[in-house]
Amino acid sequence: MTTTHPHPDTAATPTLVLIGHGMVGQRFLEELADRGVTGRARVVVLCEEPRPAYDRVQLTSYFAGRTPDELSLVDPDFLARHGIELHLGDPATAIDRTTRTVTARSGLTVRYDALVLATGSYPFVPPVPGSDSTGCFVYRTIEDLLAIEEYAEHARTGVVVGGGLLGLEAAGALKGLGLRTHIVEFAPRLMALQVDEGGGRALRRTVEEMGLEVHTGVGGTEIVADGAGAVTAMGLSDDSRIETDLVVFSAGVRPRDQLARECGLPVGQRGGIVVDAQCRTDDPAVYAIGECALAADGRVYGLVAPGYDMARVVAAAVADQLDDAAGGGPDGDRQQPGFTGADLSTKLKLLGVDVASFGDAHGATDGCLDVVYSDARSGVYKKLVIGADGELLGGVLVGDADSYGMLRPLTGSVPPVAPEQLVLPAGAGAPAALGPEALPGDAVICSCHNVTKDAIQSCETLPEVKRCTKAGTGCGSCVKMIGKLLPDSGEQGLCACFPHTRAELYEIVRVRRIASYAELLDAHGREEARGGEGCEVCKPAIGSVIASLAPAVGADGYVLHGEQAALQDTNDHFLANLQKNGSYSIVPRIPGGEITPEKLIVIGEVARDFGLYTKITGGQRIDLFGARVDQLPLIWERLVAAGFESGHAYGKALRTVKSCVGETWCRYGVQDSVRMAIELELRYRGLRAPHKLKSAVSGCARECAEAQSKDFGVIATANGWNLYVGGNGGASPRHADLLAQDLSDAELIRLIDRFLMFYIRTADRLERTAAWLERIEGGLDHVREVVVHDSLGLCDELEALMAAHVTHYRDEWAETLADPERLSRFVSFVNAPGAPDPSVRFVPERDQVKPDLTLLAGPTLPVRTLEGTSV
């Protein structure tokens, strides 16, 4: 396909030909446009791929629901506005430097005054016999991803060859597609170029905890195919064998320098087009930029930031050269800044794991020392490399890379605090970490676009920063630091005990791995509140935060464990709902409202034997009212033995996922709503949140499950599922808003994961999703950008937090029954454990019971007390 916007009078106009239209090629065109070159020259672009430049750094976000069009880096009117001729799917096939012409596959021949090669790189496929079998793929382009996605529909197991950056991304993609996934890495550790041995151990441990199988120190020896030529297994160099349906090669890249070789331009011994500091080849009319170029320092740079620097250098040089070709030569020699090397620092989130390296990460400098913090249990590893004079030379961060934004700009200087203060978590003996005020004004915050702290602080908001400086629009690793540098939002604290909002305290607990309320209060509470007991506002709020982050911060997820018990509201304290006469109601979970006759009989027998009032709720389950506190464990024991678990009706957590009968029974149904409702309820059960969560799944547009009145609701379509968010009934009903439509099962679950964790992360205490969606800046559009398009680069982290919740879920009723010490709290009177509460009495009504309300009118109603709690 050709997009032609011809420059007027092309015969008399200097011509620039750009071969390749990737990220670096598009940045080069933008640099030309900024210099006014596109208005004075004909610009022709030959592109091999069938689509314009797109964000290859965010390639994997395609599997999170981001469309190819949304990944595009080219504004719709950019080409037309600047008169650029773009030839898609028509790569250059030959360069004739004598006639200064380029020939494309279509036969198009273009004469050039300046030629820029931005051909990038190609995936390296190890010479493994059978690597051309059906089911073998590379992981490089959108077309590659489309092919993998289609093939994976009929696969169960996949192998990724390569444990580097793209290899781990590819593994995450296969896992997200529902495949059992193996990673095969020839090096002794994952990401061997970025992290050291300790970092590799931490990374591997975390990756394996996510369910991926890692094989390091081995290579592939053969791909085994069946009679039709399709992959069935992969043999490894340790004589083991992996049965697999699909293999993805992501074992590194090689510079695409074939065109240069064929036209006689010098290339490096290991590949790459040789260029000087101006990125010029030995032909003064030909330049090379990005991954195809072997820079003057002898490196081929595979990161986008160095490619952008090269684009800037060549745009300035080409502007001068084209001016000369037009007859407007300079009065004297121009001195343009050259490309002499680049910062190789990287910060990524791979499979939800933070990984960063910067500076001399491997300690190659003579006389340097390492400062190391390692927590094997949580998968956190931090190493700083310090010079003999105290200078910060570099470092490696795995599992917690939040300090990257501070540490990388400090590289090359002596930090104002001791090195151990930069790696130790809160509560481990270190004072508070440095704030952004410690950075000098000329510290580079965004390395992709070379933007300094001073430039960022000249703006007021993140959108303004992105628009004016482009900071935050590259790899995204600087966005969190940018937020810290912008003006304070003016938020007030959670309560008199804390100067921070609930969302800020969530971040503090997550990053610092704080597992107790007392530790948080002492380290981050207001001065006057430290050492105290807190208040009734912050204690349950922090208890919920710690519970929602329990696996990530090393806390016990059981809400009545140790100090956690004293933080809970009355209902959570007894894992049941307190009713008006002092009795409790019990609500077993019935996922999706589906229940067997046997389980119905058990509920009936329990209600009969304990004299409980029973009622079917609007959320498709059964409430059992009227239990005394000492009866709760006895009732749970019967229910748990029958396969029931807590329905969390007492907690700020997921309540129910309601459903209609769907396509299984209903003649209007188009999807299996019951199956989906059960899957969602079992996935999110026990998820602690700022407020209660309700959901529903409707099997067609008739909406019998009332999904649009729920915090997150799902409605079936002929093409999949529509996801609605932010609805609720109650005193201020709100219809939910459409977040995304026609989703597959995997896409739906992935977006709900992200939405719920983003809500939990940013909402205020006791704020329902409806109120949160109306309060949060940018509203639904902002939430969609974050959870669908990953605009803040948080989605891997949100998914990892949800995965940890799912993995570590434990039923609170069963946990209580298994521990005699925990059972001891379920008594009416601590000084008479076996005595029932005489105030809990009932009278008959409609063949059941109801509270005897006459007792509530008297002046002498007893007040039951339990240590640490008043009821």
The CATH number of residue 266's host domain is 3.50.50.60
Amino acid at 856: L
Domain assignment present for residue 721? The answer is no
In a domain, 869, yes or no: no
pLDDT at 120: 93
Same domain, 179 and 246: yes
What local confidence, expressed as pLDDT, does residue 832 receive?
A: 53
Last residue of one domain, picked from the residues 251, 275, 295: 251
- Ligand-binding annotation for 700, yes or no, is yes
CATH number of the domain that residue 401 is part of? 3.30.390.30
Residue 163 belongs to a domain: yes
535 assigned to a ligand binding site = no
Residues 43 and 118 in one domain: yes
Whether 539 maps to a domain, the answer reads yes
704 labeled binding residue: yes
**Residue 100, amino acid:** R
- Give the angle 376-377-382 at the CA atoms, nearest 5°: 40
Pick left, alpha or beta for residue 384 (phi over 0 → left; psi -120 to 50 → alpha; otherwise beta). Answer: beta
Residue 629's pLDDT is 86
CA angle 707-708-709, nearest 5°?
Answer: 90
User: Which whole-number Å values give the CA distances from 712 to 92, 605, 678, in the listed order?
Assistant: 50, 34, 14
Domain residue limits at 179: 136-251
Residues 350 and 406 in one domain: yes
Nearest to 547 by CA among 569, 512, 516, 570: 516
Query: Is 660 marked within a binding site?
Result: yes
Instruction: Please state, in angstroms and rounded to a whole number, the distance separating the CA atoms of residues 284 and 670.
Output: 64
Q: Is residue 406 part of a domain?
A: yes
521 and 560 in a single domain? The answer is yes
pTM, full prediction: 0.56
Q: Does residue 366 sit in the same domain as residue 472?
A: no
Q: Do 285 and 143 reside in the same domain of the chain?
A: no
Residue at which a domain ends, from 251, 281, 302: 251
Q: Are 45 and 67 in contact (CB under 8 A)?
A: no
Contact 586, 627 (CB under 8 A): yes
Q: 3-state SS of 668-707?
A: CCCCCHHHHHHHHHHHHCCCECCCCEEEEEECCCCCCCCH
Identify whether residues 110 and 204 lie together within a single domain: no
Do 238 and 259 sit in the same domain of this protein?
no
- Asked if residue 190 belongs to a domain, the reply is yes
Do 115 and 259 fall within a single domain? yes
Residue 404's pLDDT is: 80
Residue 360 forms part of a structural domain = yes
Report whether 1 contacts 106 (CB < 8 A): no
| Judgement on whether residues 376 and 449 belong to the same structural domain of the protein | no
Beta pairing, strands 241-243 & 231-236: antiparallel
- The helix or strand, by DSSP H or E, that contains position 233, with its residue range, turns out to be strand 231-236
Same domain, 265 and 359: no
The answer to whether position 742 is within a domain reads: no
Domain count for the chain: 5
Classify residue 345 as exposed, middle or buried by CB count within 10 Å of its CB (0-12, 13-18, 19+).
buried
Pairing state between β 848-851 and 842-845:
antiparallel
Give the domain-ending residue among 251, 281, 298: 251
Give me 867's structure tokens.
């240590």
Which residue positions in the chain have pLDDT lower than 50? 7-9, 329-333, 427-432, 489-491, 856-871
Question: Is residue 295 located within the same domain as residue 273?
Answer: yes
Strand order in the sheet with 84-87: 2-3, 84-87, 42-46, 15-19, 114-117, 286-288
pLDDT of residue 475: 62
Q: Quick check: 801 and 357 in contact, CB under 8 A?
A: no
